[in-house]
């Protein structure tokens, strides 16, 4: 059994609240967060599947923890507008972590989904990153593409955050799973705030096994779905994003879903 602990730390390193337990830990923090606060998860085991909830309004995330700890920065100011205004608000916060069940680990699921992902590189997977994010703003960060929010008819603050490419022709986004997975289906929700938005007519999907394929897309509010022979991979990348011949210079990605099982 894994010993799990949760802590809320202030910026000076002082412990505001903590709790520990085997296999499942629940922490109630009954104060308002202040800027600089961290939520810290520690585990006696690494390379472990967990179900983590850093805030009750954010929901839980099925994650893979490669090391013995994970730090989550409580967002403030501009960094918070890509989230629901309900998260991390008020003076009562429920933080939980537990070891995932065998059924949760074995199930066919969206392997890319991680509501607890953050912009910074971490040891908690899946993790989204990109070579460009429009003006460095949180509402256009790569993490928005794996947060489970599929609203794609506008752009900007939650629930319409997306991955924005800042009109950069060589833009690419990567989802790292942190371990081997087997996938056979991808779903894309491209942003569809027409006529503000452009759209991609073709994207190239690259896999960690060295293979890739081109995928033709259409102007649509609806999800784009593609299936293929099973691939054992550790990451996936979207690149060579070809814009449509349209006056708008603003194509964007609302969500990427990668379906499969653990390898």
Average confidence (pLDDT) over 134-144: 97
For position 62, what pLDDT does the model report?
98
Q: Identify which of 216, 234, 21, 250 has the alpha carbon closest to the alpha carbon of residue 134.
A: 250
Average confidence (pLDDT) over 20-39: 98
For position 122, what pLDDT does the model report?
82
* Per-residue pLDDT at 257 exceeds 80: yes
Counting Cβ atoms within 10 Å, is residue 185 exposed (0-12), middle (13-18) or buried (19+)? middle
Position 81 confidence tier, pLDDT thresholds 50, 70, 90? very high
Q: Over pLDDT 70: what percentage of the chain?
A: 100
| Residue 108 token pair | 């066919």
Beta strands in 38-191 (DSSP E): 38-43, 48-53, 61-65, 69-73, 93-99, 109-110, 124-125, 127-130, 163-164, 173-190
* Per-residue pLDDT at 121 exceeds 80: no
Average confidence (pLDDT) over 22-41: 98
What value does the mean pLDDT of the chain take? Answer: 97
Those residues with Cβ within 8 angstroms of residue 85's Cβ, 6 or more apart along the chain or in another chain: 158
Average confidence (pLDDT) over 172-179: 98
For position 132, what pLDDT does the model report?
97
User: Which alpha helices (H) appear in 81-200, and where do they start and end?
Assistant: 102-106
User: Which alpha helices (H) appear in the chain, and where do they start and end?
Assistant: 102-106
Task: List 129's β-bridge partners, or say none.
Answer: 174
Count Cβ neighbours within 10 Å for each residue of 109-147 and write b for 16 or more, e otherwise: bbbbbbbbbbbeebbbbbbbbbebbbeebbbbbbbbbbb
Out of 62-71, 114-123, 138-147, 189-198, least confident range? 114-123
Q: How far apart (Å, rounded) are the C-alpha atoms in residues 127 and 120?
A: 9
Please write the tens of the pLDDT for every residue from 227-250.
Answer: 999 999 999 999 999 999 999 999
Position 1 confidence tier, pLDDT thresholds 50, 70, 90? confident
* Per-residue pLDDT at 120 exceeds 90: no
Average confidence (pLDDT) over 57-80: 96
For position 182, what pLDDT does the model report?
98
Let me know how long the chain is: 263
Q: How much is the pTM? A: 0.96
Residue 76 main-chain phi, psi, to 5 deg: -135, 160
Q: Find where tokens 């008020």 sit.
A: 90
| CB contact at 8 A, 56 and 93 | yes
For the chain, the C-alpha Rg in angstroms (whole number) is: 19
Q: How far apart (Å, rounded) are the C-alpha atoms in residues 250 and 240?
A: 15
Residue 179 main-chain phi, psi, to 5 deg: -165, 175
| CB contact at 8 A, 203 and 252 | no
Position 139 confidence tier, pLDDT thresholds 50, 70, 90? very high
Q: How far apart (Å, rounded) are the C-alpha atoms in residues 213 and 195?
A: 29
* Per-residue pLDDT at 191 exceeds 90: yes
Q: What is the largest CA-CA distance in the chain?
A: 58
CA distance to 80, 125, 165, 211, per residue, from 180 (Å): 32, 11, 28, 15
Average confidence (pLDDT) over 119-138: 94
């Amino acid at each position: 059994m894994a010993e799990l602990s949760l802590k809320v730390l202030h910026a000076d390193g002082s412990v505001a609240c903590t709790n520990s337990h085997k296999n499942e830990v629940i922490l109630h923090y009954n104060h308002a967060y202040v800027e600089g606060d961290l939520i810290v998860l520690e585990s006696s085991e690494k390379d472990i599947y967990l179900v983590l909830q850093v805030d009750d309004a954010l929901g839980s995330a099925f994650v893979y923890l490669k090391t013995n700890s994970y730090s989550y920065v409580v967002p403030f100011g501009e960094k918070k507008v890509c989230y629901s205004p309900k998260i991390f608000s008020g003076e009562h916060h429920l933080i939980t972590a537990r070891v995932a069940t065998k059924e949760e680990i074995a199930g066919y699921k969206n392997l890319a989904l991680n509501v607890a992902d953050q912009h910074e590189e971490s040891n908690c997977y899946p993790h989204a990153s990109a070579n460009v994010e429009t003006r460095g703003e949180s509402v256009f960060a790569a993490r928005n593409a794996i947060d489970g929010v599929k609203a794609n008819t506008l752009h900007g603050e939650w629930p319409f955050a997306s991955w924005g490419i800042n009109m950069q022709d060589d833009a690419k986004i990567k989802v790292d799973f942190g371990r081997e997975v087997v996938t056979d289906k991808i779903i894309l929700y491209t942003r569809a705030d027409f006529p503000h938005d452009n759209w991609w007519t073709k994207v190239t999907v690259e896999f960690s096994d060295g293979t890739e394929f081109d995928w033709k897309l259409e102007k649509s509010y609806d999800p784009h779905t593609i299936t293929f022979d099973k691939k054992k991979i550790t990451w996936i990348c979207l690149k060579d994003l070809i814009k449509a011949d349209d006056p708008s210079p603003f194509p964007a990605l609302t969500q990427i879903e990668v379906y499969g099982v653990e390898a």
